């Protein structure tokens, strides 16, 4: 009450001291502007959009993306929530969030294998009209295709991935060997180096029961001329002789002590650490390893090469297509802001910054010829060729269940080598056929 009286008194005094009616008009206009424009603008909260990002990438997002994005878009706050590093665990988080109700995430950072499932379940916004076919040409075809489901576009590619074989150039030189082309050469070189005590292990890879296992396995399968599921016909190839030979190869490298027995529990990071610490001649992994292998504390700095996976002389080496892209949750209350964020993340400048810092592969074609990137990562142009001829994990809506079946039987066959590989793969194949309704 006292305050109102005081305000009245002040206004009275002001009125007495200001005689000119023009000045009153000016004051009135200023008050109007303040109330209707400046006050809301000053008190308005930015719209918050959320994204769930793999833990390993979070520091880069915070350092390279968030601050700059918010500076360019002052009305939007981008909140990054940390996801586990294992893709299957992150997929489970999304799945339970979507099943329980509206997703708490506006932006859906998606592995290349999720589009079918998420789109079929109706969880994603159709982005087909937001980007022209011409705009999409800036990205690699396989990465774009991985974002489509039944002709519609649900995911814009950010970064690509391709599985590859890393090798130690210094060790190969020591025995005058060329990088291996075939499975037998990989075994022979590993054994020679191990006999000379040049390396404790020959070959490390991902054998744990998780999504990295099928990703690694499709490369070995391709090298034996086999296949997992034909997405056109739903034919299952897991119990064919090529697939059984692929399993036998992986069991053989463990039995011969070329791969450590613990490899059946390794994910990307366990395998990478062994290699970067100089404990293995060969490593199967994704492009991100390159940057960490060149750091000062790496035992293999300046001593590594990459090539596509080894194969039978009669077949070709396969690189599994991996990669991550952004979609928008259908339940998002801020689809326009989320789309602005996607446009920003996929822009050339941001992609270049991210690539230079992380060594990851961008999905933007033009960056493979970028002189600054090539100066830092001379192997970069070769990565593009690998992606262009990469092998896909089957792009089917039931992919998560199909992968789960393969992971269980394959990991059992690798961990318990007294089991028959043929029996395990028959069971995996039959369960997959039941899943796809082809028995
Ligand atoms: C990488 C790939 C992804 C794959 C995962 C398996 O993140 O980009 O596609 O599913 O590894 O661990």
Nearest CA to ligand 1 atom 3: 322
Whole-number Å distance, alpha carbon 338 to ligand 1 midpoint, is 24
Whole-number Å distance, alpha carbon 45 to ligand 1 midpoint, is 37
Q: What is the DSSP letter of 261?
A: G
Whole-number Å distance, alpha carbon 212 to ligand 1 midpoint, is 6
Partners of residue 306 on adjacent β-strands: 166
Q: Chain-wide mean pLDDT for the chain?
A: 92
Sign of the Cα torsion 284, 285, 291, 297 reads negative
Indicate if 162-320+394-436 has the same CATH topology as 47-161+323-391: yes
Predicted local distance difference test score (pLDDT) of residue 256: 98
Give the pocket of ligand 1 (CB within 6 Å).
87, 111-113, 161, 211-212, 215, 268, 286, 322-324
Nearest CA to ligand 1 atom 9: 322
Nearest CA to ligand 1 atom 12: 212
Confidence check: pLDDT of 39 > 60: no
Predicted local distance difference test score (pLDDT) of residue 11: 55
Predicted local distance difference test score (pLDDT) of residue 392: 95
Confidence check: pLDDT of 101 > 90: no
Q: Where are the domains of the chain?
A: 2-42, 47-161+323-391, 162-320+394-436
Q: Which residue has the tokens 């493979």?
A: 368
Pocket test for ligand 1, best of 161, 210, 363, 411 (most atoms within 8 A of CB): 161
Q: Please choose, from the candidates 49, 121, 61, the residue with its C-alpha nearest in 3D space to the C-alpha of residue 91.
A: 121
pLDDT tens, residue by residue, 144-180: 999 999 999 999 999 999 999 999 999 999 999 999 9
Under the banding of pLDDT at 50, 70 and 90, the label for residue 10 is: low
Nearest CA to ligand 1 atom 6: 212
Whole-number Å distance, alpha carbon 163 to ligand 1 midpoint, is 9
What is the CATH number assigned to the segment(s) 47-161+323-391?
A: 3.40.190.10
pLDDT tens, residue by residue, 172-218: 999 999 999 999 999 999 999 999 999 999 999 999 999 999 999 99
Confidence check: pLDDT of 118 > 80: yes
Percent of the chain's residues with pLDDT above 90: 88
CATH value of 162-320+394-436 in 3.20.20.120, 3.40.190.10, 3.40.50.300, 3.10.180.10? 3.40.190.10
Which residues, in sequence order, are CB contacts of 222 under 8 Å at separation 6+? 309, 311, 315, 316, 317, 318, 391
Nearest CA to ligand 1 atom 11: 212
Cα R_g (the chain), whole angstroms: 28
Predicted local distance difference test score (pLDDT) of residue 80: 98
Pocket test for ligand 1, best of 322, 363, 399, 402 (most atoms within 8 A of CB): 322
Predicted local distance difference test score (pLDDT) of residue 3: 47
């Amino acid at each position: 009450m006292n305050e109102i009286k005081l305000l009245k008194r002040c206004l009275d005094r002001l009125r007495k001291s200001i005689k000119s009616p023009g000045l009153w008009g000016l004051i009135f206009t200023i008050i109007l502007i303040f109330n209707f424009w400046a006050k809301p603008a000053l008190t308005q909260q930015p719209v918050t959009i959320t994204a769930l990002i793999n833990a390993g990438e979070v520091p880069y997002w915070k350092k390279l993306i968030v601050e700059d994005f918010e500076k360019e878009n002052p009305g939007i706050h981008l909140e990054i929530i940390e996801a586990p590093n294992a893709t299957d665990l992150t997929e489970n988080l999304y799945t339970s969030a979507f099943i329980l109700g509206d997703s708490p995430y506006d932006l859906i950072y998606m592995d290349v294998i999720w589009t079918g499932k998420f789109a079929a379940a109706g969880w994603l916004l159709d982005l087909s009209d937001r980007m022209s076919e011409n705009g999409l040409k800036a990205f690699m075809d396989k990465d774009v295709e991985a974002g489509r489901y039944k002709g519609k576009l649900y995911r814009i590619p950010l970064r690509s991935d391709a599985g590859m074989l890393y090798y130690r150039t210094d060790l190969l030189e020591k025995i005058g060997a060329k990088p291996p082309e075939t499975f037998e050469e990989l075994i022979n070189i590993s054994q020679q180096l191990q006999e000379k005590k040049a390396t404790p292990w020959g070959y490390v890879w991902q054998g744990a029961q998780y999504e990295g296992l099928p990703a690694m396995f499709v490369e070995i399968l391709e090298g034996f001329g086999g296949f997992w599921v034909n997405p056109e016909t739903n034919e299952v190839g897991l119990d064919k002789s090529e697939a059984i030979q692929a399993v036998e190869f992986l069991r053989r490298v463990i039995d011969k002590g070329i791969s450590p027995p613990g490899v059946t529990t390794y994910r990307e990071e366990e395998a990478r650490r062994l290699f970067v610490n100089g404990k293995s001649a060969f490593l199967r992994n994704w492009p991100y390893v390159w940057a960490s292998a060149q750091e000062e504390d790496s035992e293999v700095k300046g001593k590594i090469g990459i090539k596509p996976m080894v194969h039978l002389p009669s077949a070709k080496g396969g690189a599994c297509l991996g990669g991550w892209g952004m979609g928008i949750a259908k339940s998002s209350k801020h689809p326009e802001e989320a789309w602005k964020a996607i446009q920003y993340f996929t822009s050339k400048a941001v992609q270049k910054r991210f690539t230079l810092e992380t060594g990851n592969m961008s999905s933007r074609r033009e960056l493979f010829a970028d002189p600054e990137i090539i100066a830092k990562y001379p192997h970069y142009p070769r990565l593009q060729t690998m992606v262009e001829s990469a092998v896909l994990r089957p792009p089917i809506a039931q992919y998560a269940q199909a992968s789960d079946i393969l992971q269980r039987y394959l990991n059992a066959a690798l961990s318990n080598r007294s089991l028959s590989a043929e029996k395990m793969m028959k069971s995996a194949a039959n369960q997959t056929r039941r899943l796809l309704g082809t028995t």
